[in-house]
């Protein structure tokens, strides 16, 4: 009986940690990950305590025998997939409709599916680049150059992520691509609004969601997570600036002029 009970508690410990991991790995806030972990544990009648950072999830469960069991889960990579967060939240709201095994299987399906396809990724980058170029005062030709740059940045970022490149490298290369194509267009006389195109394309990579999550974690009282997110946003912005700055320096040294 005790062995069966301990096995159940271990499975619940694994499930709650896994649920929090799905939330955290796909762009969810730390307080949201902690909330879903506690809600899932409470549903199965267990008292859960958890501590979550951007790189680690610690879950402790108080068993029926009054003994505590803990599990540490390492978060080695993070991405941005709000569709997975939405489906996880929806599944948790409907948890009463599923058995333990059914709920666990649904969570695995959410984690292993619903990836952002390359064509959706590219469409997003192209639309952001084109319409921000027009919004900032560029003309139709500028928007076409922005769209071409957006496609290139999108494809590059997508495959660099697939290869396991770290965020600093991805954003540095992204900043370079956002700058080099408009500079080439300026060199051959296709545009005089180089700065507008560069800024518009960089909008794809600006860490807006990271910064918002940092503010939300601060507001919820999680200062450690808020500081971590804020530092992540600063690192991304710095990487973009370095990548773009290197290309601009090379271009101006060669005699190019940025308008």
Per-residue pLDDT, averaged over 29-51, amounts to 88
Query: Is pLDDT at 100 greater than 80 in this prediction?
Result: yes
Per-residue pLDDT, averaged over 237-259, amounts to 88
DSSP reduced 3-state for 56: strand
Of 64-73, 194-203, 246-255, the least confident: 64-73
Residues 105-150: pLDDT tens digits? 999 998 888 777 788 888 989 999 999 999 999 899 999 999 999 9
| Domain ranges for the chain | 1-112, 118-254
pLDDT on residue 4: 58
pLDDT on residue 199: 94
CA distance 247 to 153: 15
How many residues are given for the chain?
259
Which is more confidently placed, 257 or 196? 196
pLDDT on residue 19: 92
Global pTM reads: 0.80
Find the radius of gyration of the CA atoms of the chain.
23
H helices present in 188-256, as ranges:
194-202, 208-219, 223-253
């Amino acid at each position: 009986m005790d062995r069966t009970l301990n096995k159940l508690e271990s499975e619940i410990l694994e499930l709650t940690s896994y649920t929090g991991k799905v939330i955290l790995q796909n762009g969810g806030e730390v307080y949201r990950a902690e909330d879903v972990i506690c809600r899932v544990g409470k549903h199965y009648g267990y008292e859960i305590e958890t501590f979550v950072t951007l790189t680690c999830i610690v879950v402790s469960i108080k068993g029926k025998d009054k003994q505590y069991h803990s599990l540490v889960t390492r978060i080695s990579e993070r991405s941005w997939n709000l569709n997975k967060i939405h489906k996880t939240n929806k599944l948790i709201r409907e948890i009463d409709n599923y058995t333990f095994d059914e709920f666990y299987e649904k969570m695995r399906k959410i984690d292993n599916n619903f990836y952002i396809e390359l064509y959706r990724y590219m469409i997003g980058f192209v639309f952001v680049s084109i319409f921000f170029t027009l919004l900032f005062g560029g003309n139709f030709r500028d928007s076409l150059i922005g769209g071409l740059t957006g496609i290139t940045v999108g494809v590059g970022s997508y495959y660099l992520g697939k290869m396991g490149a770290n965020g600093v490298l991805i954003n540095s290369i992204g900043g370079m691509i956002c700058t080099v194509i408009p500079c080439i267009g300026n060199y051959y006389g296709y545009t005089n609004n180089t700065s507008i195109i560069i800024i518009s394309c960089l909008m794809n990579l600006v860490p807006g969601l990271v910064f918002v999550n940092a503010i939300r974690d601060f507001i919820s009282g999680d200062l450690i997570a808020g500081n971590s997110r804020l530092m992540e946003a600063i690192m991304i912005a710095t990487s973009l600036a370095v990548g773009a700055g290197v290309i601009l320096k090379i271009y101006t040294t060669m005699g190019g002029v940025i308008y």
